[in-house]
Amino acid sequence: MSSYERLAERLIETQRTMLGKRAVDIARSVEGIEVTDDGQVANVVDDDRATVGALVDSYVDVMGVTAQSRLTEVAQEYEDLVLPANLGGPGPDDEDAADAETDSAVVTNIWGEEYAADSTDPDSANPIDVVETDLNAIYVAVDDGTGSAARVPLSQAIVDTVVAETDLERDQLDEPGTYVDAIQVVRLVDADPGTYLSFTVEEQELHLHQDGTITVE
């Protein structure tokens, strides 16, 4: 197995943790890569580097910056390879373009892009900031009671909203992941403007909006 085939297999494995079998189906749709039912890469043909780049593009089309961040991190394990530009490698024509691609691909902490990694201003962050596909690692801004915004895990924001807006108490609620899937939240981030995510918490219908607000209907 070539180094590019090992990298492609590792990228598929990473996406399978988020998408399940769909990750394999997406990989199979990429021209030049042969994948078995269990996600093993049988062959990467033609230009290995370009094929891996096309695989990354296919995952980013589905999962957006979340996939870009995770895949770029995984690719750093393969120091012996010249990576495609969308994984931080050099571009085909312009080194400056490759640098810009790398910068735009890095999404780091709860404050969003790498350039804002040291920011302490909640207003500079994405409304829904996905660090990992886990409700405890997806952050939204809420009023901290002093008129300022504080960023908290979405899991906490859901519980706080339900307790504040309904007659339910915290000990009556299950883990927030019981009510809404983190992958649905990730898809909301990349959905068309105006889209919101509806889910039910103990017979209460909640809407999560793209600006990070949660309403009880």
Tens digits of pLDDT across the chain (217 residues): 678 888 999 999 988 887 888 889 999 999 999 999 888 998 887 678 889 999 999 988 887 777 788 898 888 888 778 888 888 887 655 445 444 444 443 333 333 333 333 333 444 457 888 888 889 888 888 876 666 677 888 998 999 999 999 999 988 999 999 999 999 999 998 888 899 999 999 999 999 999 999 999 8
Does residue 121 sit within a domain?
no
Does residue 159 sit within a domain?
yes
- The structural domain count of the chain equals 2
Does residue 22 sit within a domain?
yes
- Strands in 149-153's sheet, in edge-to-edge order, are 128-130, 138-143, 149-153
Contact 166/204 with Cβ under 8 angstroms? yes
* 3-state class (DSSP) for residue 92: coil
| In a shared domain, residues 97 and 190 | no
pTM, two decimal places: 0.46
Strand partners, 128: 140
Q: Which residues contact 71 (CB under 8 A, 6 or more apart)?
A: 11, 14, 15, 56, 59, 60, 87
* 3-state class (DSSP) for residue 33: strand
Does residue 179 sit within a domain?
yes
